[in-house]
Structure 1
Amino acid sequence: MIEARHLYKEFKTPAVKGGRFSGVRTLFSREYRVKEAVRDISFQVLPGEFVGYIGPNGAGKSTTIKMLTGILHPSSGEVRIRGLNPHRERRKAVQQLGVVFGQRSQLWWDLPVKDSYDILAHMYRVPAELKKQRLERFAELLNLPEFWDTPVRKLSLGQRMRADLAAAMLHDPDLLFLDEPTIGLDVHAKQGIREFLRQLNKEYGKTILLTTHDMDDIEQLCSRVMVINHGALSYDGTVAELRERIGLPAVITVTYRGGCQIPVLEQPGPVYRIVSAEGETLRIEADLRAMGVMELIKELGTWGEIADLSIEGPDFEEVVRRFSE
Structure 2
Amino acid sequence: MIEVDGVGRSFTLRHRRGLLRGETRVVHAVRDLSFRVAPGEFVGYLGPNGAGKSTTIKMLTGILAPTTGRIEVAGLDPSRRRTTLARRIGVVFGQRTTLWWDLPLKDSFTLIRHLYKVDREVFRKRLAELCDVLDLGGFLDKPVRQLSLGQRMRGDIAAALLHDPAVLVLDEPTIGLDVVSKSAVRDFLRDLNAERGTTVLLTTHDLGDIERLCRRVMLIDHGTLAFDGTVEELMATVPGETSIEDVVTRLYTRRLPL
Identify whether the pair has TM-score above 0.5, normalized to the shorter chain: yes
Amino acid at match of 2:192: L
Deviation at 1:10, TM superposition (A): 1.5
User: Which residue identity lines up with residue 146 of structure 2 in the other structure?
Assistant: K
Is 1:241 aligned to 2:233, yes or no? Answer: yes
**Alignment pair present for 1:210 and 2:205:** no
Determine the structure 2 residue equivalent to 1:316.
Answer: 244
Pairing of 1:218-229 with structure 2 (within 5 A): 218-229=210-221
Q: Does 1:185 align with 2:177?
A: yes
Name the structure 1 match of 2:2: 2
Q: Structure 2: 5+ residue runs without aligned partners?
A: none
SS of equivalent to 1:5: strand
1:190-238 CA-partner distances (Å, limit 9, x unpaired): 1010011011100111000000001110010001000011111100000
Q: Which amino acid aligns with 1:196?
A: F
Match status 1:84 vs 2:76: yes
From 109, 117, 127, the counterpart of 1:117 = 109
Q: CA RMSD in A?
A: 1.2
* Structure possessing the higher relative contact order (Cα contacts under 8 Å, 6 or more residues apart): 2
Paired amino acid for 1:322: R
CA distance in 2, matches of 1:37, 1:246: 27
2:67 partner amino acid: S
Q: Given residue 321 of structure 1, which amino acid in structure 2 is its aligned partner? A: T
Matches within 5 A, 1:165-314: 165-247=157-239, 249=240, 314=242
Matching residue of 2:133: 141
Structure 1 residues 160-169 or 55-64, which shifts more?
55-64
User: What is the rounded CA distance, in whole Å, between the counterparts of 2:174 and 2:28 in structure 1?
Assistant: 28
Encode CA deviations 1:243-280: one digit per residue, 9 max, x unaligned. Answer: 11222x15xxxxxxxxxxxxxxxxxxxxxxxxxxxxxx
TM-score by length of 1: 0.76
